[in-house]
Structure 1
């Protein structure tokens, strides 16, 4: 981006985020912007109206759904408030997570199965990968 002869460089993880940021920038500034993408020629934009239309993902975040939050709360309340692996408790300062025993990435059909959930402390949950059952 360039404003008043000064260049500003920003990096974004996705093309959609870069285009969104340029749209916001053009709303309050005048100048030009160069958008670089790996393996492509840079594109010059001089106004918000030249930017491509980028579709946003409408995928729902599973961990924000009402069904997950209600089930998670019931699992935490039914537990003895301790990690199933190491026994650490929230009273001792542990952050407790509700973990999928069989990971959602491999077993999406078990995502809301109460029998597939366990309480783990943050350390044990992070140490467990989606290959561990």
Structure 2
């Protein structure tokens, strides 16, 4: 893949094209907008989560090793839980908290181990 940003844009455009026919299956669609919060939410989701986040993910996957990138991307669930707690006042059970801690510890240990093995390989 030559350009990660172009790849991401084509991927998003094909997803939009594939999902557009589902709009016709809706019972009623109101095109006169009185509240702009839904439009703002769609723009934030489209720009923030789709274009910017996926672009950063693709760039990161090019730079980092496979194991380090996969461990970093595993942190998506604990961060979603953290922001759900901070922004939406959601509560986690002890089982969910322990799962998030296990994922965090495994990710940090993998990254530290991977960095240490790279340093040892450079020295030898």
Q: TM-score range by the shorter chain?
A: under 0.3
Q: More strand by proportion, 1 or 2?
A: 1
Question: Which has the higher Rg, Structure 1 or Structure 2?
Answer: 1
Structure of higher RCO (CA pairs closer than 8 Å, 6+ residues apart) = 2
TM-score by length of 2: 0.22
TM-score by length of 1: 0.21
